[in-house]
């Protein structure tokens, strides 16, 4: 359903994303991993249409996405295909709007429904992400970080997208809450068939939730394959180093070659 071909992003002389090519099947789950500055977030933002590529193409459901400014109607069509959830849910929620109202607004934006239809859909979304009526009446500031991220996910799902992009969506949450959100995302994928694209540096989460993984370094894809293969028997030296730096029983931190120019 998503095909990315030779995607490229330049900022002046600097090449942030260099000839990235991959495909994500309908209902699939792919993770892009890499360190800060590897180009993983820029890639995601170009796919979501938040950033204009310098070259290459993004094809969604067989249709190439035109670059440049879009009309409101086109943006709406796009939003119904791809939604994005960010690391900090508080920054992406209106802090004066009650959670239930925010979801009703998102539902109304994407679907023409009578008032009781909107209410039913909001209830369905709340239920899907594990929030109750009390939380629906609350303002974002009264919710915990994990609950806010559930609201952000519910709002993204209001568009019934075919692809959900999660940009470090669990990175800022407590460990016990990360597991809840990962479990939720797995359930959503099974129940709705929404394809998932994870942008993350957390290889443990990748193993748990993704079918395939793409490893990026300095804007380029250095390794791509099924999660068990890439993390179990990494081929590229960079992937090997990434896997070797994860703490595990018997692990002793070691200094690798000093980076020549940091």
Partner 1 sequence: MTEPQNASPLLHIDGLRIDLPLDGAPRTVVHRADVTIPEGRAVALVGESGSGKSLTARCVMGLLPGSARIHGDVRFAGESVPGMNAERLRAFRAAEVAMVFQDPRAHINPARSIGDFLIEGLTTARRVPSGEAVKKVTGILREVGIPDADRRMRQRPHELSGGLLQRVMIAAALAVEPRLLLADEPTTALDVTTQEEVMAIIGEAREARGLALLFITHDLELAAAVSDRVVVMYAGSTVEELPAARLRAHAAHPYTRALLASRPSVFDEAAELRSIPGRPLSGFEAPEGCAFSDRCTHVQDVCRSERPQPSPHGDAFAACHFPYVLASEETADHA
Tokens encoding 176? 């016990």
The gap between the terminal CA atoms of the chain, to the nearest Å, is: 38
Minimum distance of partner 1 from residue 112's CB (angstroms): 37
Minimum distance of partner 1 from residue 201's CB (angstroms): 6
Minimum distance of partner 1 from residue 95's CB (angstroms): 20
Nearer to partner 1, 58 or 209 (CB): 209
Tokens encoding 50? 């938040």
- CB of 197 within 8 A of CB of 163? yes
Nearer to partner 1, 115 or 175 (CB): 175
Minimum distance of partner 1 from residue 142's CB (angstroms): 13
- Provide long-range contacts, Cβ within 8 A and 24+ apart, for 179-188: 180/130, 180/146, 181/146, 181/149, 181/150, 181/153, 182/208, 182/209, 184/129, 184/130, 184/150, 184/153, 185/153, 185/209, 188/128, 188/153, 188/157, 188/164
Minimum distance of partner 1 from residue 144's CB (angstroms): 5
- CB of 56 within 8 A of CB of 5? yes
CB atoms closer than 10 angstroms to residue 253: 6
Helices (H), 193-236: 203-209, 227-232
Nearer to partner 1, 8 or 236 (CB): 236
Q: What is the dihedral of CA 101, 80, 41, 188, to 10 degrees?
A: 70
User: Which positions lie near partner 1, rule CB under 8 A?
Assistant: 35-36, 144-147, 174-180, 182-183, 201, 203-209, 228, 231, 241-249, 251-256, 258, 262
Nearer to partner 1, 25 or 204 (CB): 204
């Amino acid at each position: 359903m998503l095909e990315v071909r030779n995607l490229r992003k330049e900022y002046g002389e600097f090449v942030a994303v260099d000839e990235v090519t991959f495909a994500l099947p309908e209902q699939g789950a792919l993770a892009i991993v890499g360190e800060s500055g590897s180009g993983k977030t820029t890639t995601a933002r170009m796919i979501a249409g938040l950033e204009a590529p310098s070259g290459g193409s993004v094809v969604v459901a067989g249709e190439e996405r035109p670059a440049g400014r879009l009309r409101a109607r086109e943006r709406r069509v796009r939003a119904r295909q791809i939604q994005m959830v960010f690391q900090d849910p508080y920054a992406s929620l209106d802090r004066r709007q009650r959670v239930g109202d925010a979801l009703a607004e998102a539902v109304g934006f994407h679907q023409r429904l009578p008032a009781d239809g909107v209410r039913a859909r909001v209830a369905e979304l709340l239920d899907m992400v594990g929030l109750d009526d009390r939380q629906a009446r609350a303002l974002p500031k009264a919710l915990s970080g994990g609950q806010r991220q559930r609201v952000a996910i519910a709002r993204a799902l209001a568009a019934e997208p075919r692809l959900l992009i999660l940009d470090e969506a669990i990175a800022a949450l407590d460990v016990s809450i990360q597991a809840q959100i990962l479990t939720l995302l797995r359930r959503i994928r099974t129940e709705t068939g929404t394809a998932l694209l994870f942008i993350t540096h957390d290889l443990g989460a990748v193993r748990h939730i993704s079918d395939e993984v793409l490893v990026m370094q300095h804007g380029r894809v250095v390794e791509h394959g099924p999660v068990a293969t890439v993390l179990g028997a990494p081929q590229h030296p960079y992937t090997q180093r990434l896997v070797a730096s994860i703490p595990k029983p018997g692990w002793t931190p070691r200094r690798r070659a000093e980076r020549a120019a940091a």
